Structure 1
Amino acid sequence: MNARNKGLLISVGLGVLLNPLNSSMISVAIPRLQNVFHLDFRMVSWIIFSFYIASAIAQPVMGKASDLFGRKKIFLTGLVVAFVASVLAPLSPSFGWLIVFRIIHAIGTSMMVAVGIAIVRIHITEKQAAALSVMSIFLSGAAAIGPFIGGVLIHWWDWPAIFFVNIPFAVMSFLFAWRTIPKDEPSTSALRNLSFRKWLDLIDASGILLFTLGLIALLVGLLSAKSSGHVSSGPVLVGLIGLLLLAAFVRHELKAPSPFIPLHTFAKHPAMTWVNIEFILVNLLYYSLFFGLPSYLQMVRHVSEFHTGILMLSLGLCSLVVSPISGRWIDQAGPRPALLVSGMLMAFGSVWIVTLNQSSPVISVCVALVAFGISNGLNNVGMQAALFNSSPQQIIGVASGLFMTSRYLGTILSSLLIGIIMGDQFSAGGFRLLGVILSIIALCLVFMSWRRREPGKLEES
């Protein structure tokens, strides 16, 4: 790989890592934010919801925008947006403003993720597989070490540091990208002549609005019902409005010429649908531990942010080590054995959570972290292999987009599950209840993996 391609790879990598890095660093910051802004656990969980909802919407929209404005412009604009949000977020006068800047930051970082891989695919033709594997390291590595970096930064410089740390990455990436990413033109001249109304139709603005409002209303209704301690008309009404909006969203998407989420694809390809359902459950399990365990360590066990970050590092390192090994295994045996082992490890880790109590050594938490870390390494490759096996080649681009949407839905559901169980205060009893629920979900995942149908091998019901 020549020097120009290496420079391009570094510039794109430094940009795309900001999204997974910031989505994972926040897991260690939740207890500190709760204390600083005097919030209950239910309210502070919106710092997670907001980022993933914004990312889920921004990435496909910005992918389409790159056809209109050019990938280099979208990438550089994303770096500027992320830089501004990183400067302003620590200055937030209230938690509401922090959420606003967090959403802006998610949009900026999503702009880079949406076009980063495409830039590498288009402009690096020499040793492209190696280049894409490096990009995967930037993405998965940033997510893996995020809690450790967040723990160190918060321990020494408090929570604003997890935003300020983005600034050097954004500046370096911008300087490299300005020089190394070739200028590109929109893919078709017709796109450049689109009116604003046509552009809104192209990105399915109506579908995005229905999806966003429906999801937020449903989340507010469910979390408010838990907070009130009893069933009252207000939260129920908000939740019902959310369900109605989501129903309207489904109806709209089935008729839209350019849907935000092409739901009709699920009906045509049931095998792919089951893979996405399984992927939602995988992410629900993984991120419930990922976001729940740091809060348990800090709020229940009174472990410092620094030591919490060190403990969480075992999760990421196991995932990084296992991913390449699982790739070779899956190439030989297919995804089913790896996903079956992954489900069993998640079930074991979830049951282990239930056994933890105040007298359990803190280091014993690593047992659950290692189990989930290994399973995540297996899932990183196994679920993608299952997706490619179940998706026709002609719709693999659409299938990949739906796959990412499933990841975000699983992540959002994990935060919702934690918020509903914990309510106002994170407790040891609530954490054990979370372990029980995760154990049940993991067993369902094991059953789904056991019953998995490999291509060309139909199982008898």
Structure 2
Amino acid sequence: MTAARRRRRAEKGGFDRRLIAPMILGSILNPINSSMLAVALVPIGRAFGVPPSQTAWLVSGLYLATAVGQPVIGRLVDTFGPRRLYLLGTALAGLAGLLGTLAPNLWVLVASRVLLGFGTSAAFPASMSLLRAESDRTGRRNPSGVLAALSVSNQVVAVVGPALGGLLIGAGGWQSIFGVNVPLSLMCLVLGALWLPRATPSGGTTRIDVPGMLWFAGSLTAFMFFLMNPAVAHWYLPVLGLAAGAVFVRRELGVAQPFIDLRVLGGNVPLLATFTRQCLAYTTSYAFFYGYSQWLQEGRGLSASQAGLLLLPLSATAVGVTALTGRRSRVRGRLVVGALFQCLGCAALLLLRADSPVWLLVVLSAVVGIPHGLIGPAHQNALYAQADPARMGSTAGLLRTFMYIGALFAAAASAVFFRGGATSSGLHAMAWWLIGVAAVFLVLCTADRSLGRVGISRIDGLS
């Protein structure tokens, strides 16, 4: 599109479609790295001679970095604009992928995952900030077509990731799931440099609450280290987390320009409820991804490629459900149905044995794909309706933070329930825990009446 055509389109109030490609490509970097690893944990453990309790750090390393990085980078996006952070983040993701490909031991590999977590934290808050800016420019309240495209692409990549990871591992070993970040990062850099706007958000400020960010990171890190190895001997970790959290809260309430405006956030009960549901939903989702994938390989005796292929029905169902419902602005029904299917899928894990027939595994994967296609897009729509527009980047980052806190709970569960290996008994113990988490999620979705007001007004489309 020429500059003249772009100006004409802007005058007509249309969304700049050139932004869609870098937004989608950048936003999938995190889910693709999250989901491909699900089938790589066993091969990596065998390569380095370590048990699941140690390979779980590959999961928690990325999610801990992402949980901290999303709101931090989101706040920087609100201040400096999306372009700079998008380009820096995607460049870091490419370097992290190269480091992982060449990693000589597990802990260098964990370091590469931490870098991936920070690098892939930029694109989602940058995309949400771009959406808000385009909405303000065009006068459209909610570009639902673009939101649906982001949702579908992230859902597709998240659920196709295990199958893709299995194919890559079969073709080039576990290193290939890290190496794929290099070409993806290069494409993001080219598209972002060409098409992302250079403008800084109006009213932005260069004053950054660095101490608040550090206290937030310290509190979250202490809690997550405890979750990875909960024991009485590690009592000091949650104490440190609480202390750092108390200092963080006191600081944020006392500064003029806080990292996270707790006064505004505390008064937005519907948004806080969305964050809580996000954490619960993804605790169940990621525990299924990692627990079920490891069990398929160790408990059922399948290869990484076979395990990835058995997750294809999940991918197909999730993509179909997202495509059918992604443009709908109402969220409550989608969340309740998704919660019901999460409960059903977790209960079905109790039926699995080492000799379970393939047809049962296929059906289970297909059923679990339904909530994957419903919950993520619904929460994204809820956030867009509930968040303060001036802090869209940092609020979108917080949504991802709660998503990855759930993923960290899932990683900790894998470390606890599969301490002696991914056995059927360990899977069944995890299933009972997941049923409880899914049931709480269902109760919160049913009880939250504010969800019924989301999407009542007209939602504008892409063009």
TM-score between the two structures when normalised by the length of structure 2:
0.83
Shift, 1:114, TM fit = 3.0
| SS of residue matched to 1:45 | helix
Question: Deviations along 1:121-162, whole A, 9 cap, x unmatched?
Answer: 657978965445434333332222111111111112111101
Amino acid at match of 1:147: P
Relative contact order, higher structure (CA 8 A, sep 6+): 2
Q: 2 CA distance for matches of 1:294 and 1:379?
A: 21
Amino acid at match of 1:210: W
Question: Deviations along 1:384-436, whole A, 9 cap, x unmatched?
Answer: 455566x3766783654443332222222222222222235322111101111
CA contact under 8 A between 1:51 and 1:102: conserved in structure 2? yes
Instruction: Tell me which of 361, 366, 372 is aligned to 2:357.
Output: 361
Question: Deviations along 1:423-461, whole A, 9 cap, x unmatched?
Answer: 35322111101111111222222333333324789xxxx
Question: Deviations along 1:66-93, whole A, 9 cap, x unmatched?
Answer: 4665533332222322222221222122
Shift, 1:277, TM fit = 1.8
Equivalent residue number for residue 210 of structure 1 = 215
| SS of residue matched to 1:110 | coil
| SS of residue matched to 2:427 | helix
Q: 1 CA distance for matches of 2:182 and 2:151?
A: 22
Unaligned runs of 5+ in 1: none
Q: Does 1:146 align with 2:161?
A: yes
Shift, 1:343, TM fit = 1.6
| SS of residue matched to 2:344 | helix
Equivalent residue number for residue 290 of structure 2 = 291
1:167-316 → structure 2 map (5 Å cutoff): 167-182=182-197, 184-187=198-201, 191=205, 194=206, 198=207, 202=208, 204-225=209-230, 231=232, 233=233, 235-316=234-315
Equivalent residue number for residue 74 of structure 1 = 85
Q: Does 1:447 align with 2:446?
A: no
Q: Tell me how many residue pairs correspond in the alignment.
A: 437
Q: 2 CA distance for matches of 1:143 and 1:16?
A: 11
| SS of residue matched to 1:357 | coil
**Structure 1 residues 164, 447: closer, same or farther in 2, change over 3 A?**
same
Equivalent residue number for residue 45 of structure 1 = 56
CA contact under 8 A between 1:78 and 1:110: conserved in structure 2? yes
CA contact under 8 A between 1:216 and 1:242: conserved in structure 2? yes
**Structure 1 residues 242, 43: closer, same or farther in 2, change over 3 A?**
farther
CA contact under 8 A between 2:68 and 2:220: conserved in structure 1? no
Question: Deviations along 1:200-248, whole A, 9 cap, x unmatched?
Answer: xx2x33233233333333333344346xxxx4x3x22334333433344
Q: 2 CA distance for matches of 1:22 and 1:254?
A: 36
**Structure 1 residues 363, 250: closer, same or farther in 2, change over 3 A?**
farther
Q: Does 1:159 align with 2:167?
A: no
Question: Deviations along 1:175-219, whole A, 9 cap, x unmatched?
Answer: 33333334x14346984xx5xxx4xxx2x3323323333333333
| SS of residue matched to 1:93 | coil
Q: Does 1:433 align with 2:429?
A: yes
| SS of residue matched to 2:312 | helix
Relative to structure 2, which stretch is displaced further, 34-43 or 256-265?
Answer: 256-265
Shift, 1:30, TM fit = 1.0
Instruction: Tell me which of 100, 112, 120 is aligned to 2:111.
Output: 100
**Structure 1 residues 456, 78: closer, same or farther in 2, change over 3 A?**
closer
Amino acid at match of 1:105: L
Q: 2 CA distance for matches of 1:89 and 1:321?
A: 33
Amino acid at match of 2:179: F
Q: 1 CA distance for matches of 2:311 and 2:49?
A: 25
1:394-413 → structure 2 map (5 Å cutoff): 397=392, 400-413=396-409
TM-score between the two structures when normalised by the length of structure 1:
0.84
Instruction: Tell me which of 394, 397, 414 is aligned to 2:410.
Output: 414
| SS of residue matched to 2:122 | helix
Q: 2 CA distance for matches of 1:130 and 1:336?
A: 19
CA contact under 8 A between 2:72 and 2:213: conserved in structure 1? no
Instruction: Tell me which of 336, 343, 350 is aligned to 2:332.
Output: 336
CA contact under 8 A between 1:322 and 1:374: conserved in structure 2? yes
% same residue? 27
CA contact under 8 A between 1:53 and 1:212: conserved in structure 2? no
Q: 2 CA distance for matches of 1:281 and 1:322?
A: 20
| SS of residue matched to 2:407 | helix
**Structure 1 residues 428, 393: closer, same or farther in 2, change over 3 A?**
same
Amino acid at match of 1:186: T
Q: 2 CA distance for matches of 1:392 and 1:161?
A: 38
| SS of residue matched to 2:235 | helix
CA contact under 8 A between 1:82 and 1:109: conserved in structure 2? yes
| SS of residue matched to 1:302 | coil
